[in-house]
Amino acid sequence: MKVVIFAGGLGTRISEETDARPKPMVEIGGKPILWHIMKIYNHFGFNEFVICLGYKGYVIKEYFMHYFLHNSDITIELGSNNIEIHDTNTEAFKVTLVETGLNTKTAGRLKQVQKYIGDEDFMLTYGDGVCDVNLKELLAFHKSHNKIATVTSVQMDARFGGMDVGPDGEVLSFREKAKDESKWINGGFFVLKPEVFNYLKGDVADMMWEDEPLETLANDNQLVAYRHRGFWKCMDALRDKIELEDLWKNNQAQWKVW
């Protein structure tokens, strides 16, 4: 089963890191967050990837073109330009890199990679979010309901603590940051049937996958949420990058399931 990853956005909300590279190449623990996402999938046996490129896509291409050498011990004979490969520490990824346009939105990017997916179910996620979802259980859930689309739904952590305040200003109770139990949001990590491309007809280059396609799938009762109550984090801004980096350094990276 192939895994499609959106990796073409401009990353404007984390511009401190994306002037010279696309957001999926921003590093956590010395490795691009894209690598972390791929390692999650690989752990569950999904190692064939189709990556939708856009902004500075050549950076991602060069990373994978040189990936094997960068993760191997090598001897180079400069006079003859012969290279001998010794020990290597690389993954068995198969990666298809697709130029989907600088300004193309997510629905348009997905439509452009249809020819690389074929007539089979596939997975889809964003190139800036990690979690500890059990992908085998997610896939089993998707097969059980037989609908076109499954989305992993997550509950966001509140950014601030909460208080119950009495009529005279006395604090009746204080709550530290917690998940918002009343709201489920799109956490990515989709599983999709090929029939999803019927919802991407015509020119969808300027359409977000999260707008009309998902809304129509929901209206047609073809979108089902898999509730994930574990760890999930999107690297939307610099503070998120710093938080993920701290978790990695302190051996608290819950998304490291491998």
Q: What percent of the chain has pLDDT over 70?
A: 92
Boundaries of domain holding 131: 2-249
> Which pTM value belongs to this model?
0.89
pLDDT tens figures, 201-226? 999 999 999 999 999 999 999 999 99
| 74 lies in some domain | yes
In a domain, 258, yes or no: no
pLDDT of residue 161: 64
Looking at the domain assignment, is residue 146 inside a domain? Answer: yes
In a domain, 254, yes or no: no
Residue 59 has pLDDT above 80, yes or no: yes
Q: The domain that contains 201 carries what CATH number?
A: 3.90.550.10
The sign of the torsion formed by the CA atoms of 251, 253, 257, 258 equals negative
Residue 190's CB is within 10 A of a number of other CB atoms, namely 25
In a domain, 255, yes or no: no
Rounded mean pLDDT of 127-132? 97
- Whether residue 108 lies inside any domain: the answer is yes
Number of separate domains in the chain: 1
Give mean pLDDT, residues 130-152. 97
Residue 48 and residue 97: Cα distance in Å, rounded? Answer: 11
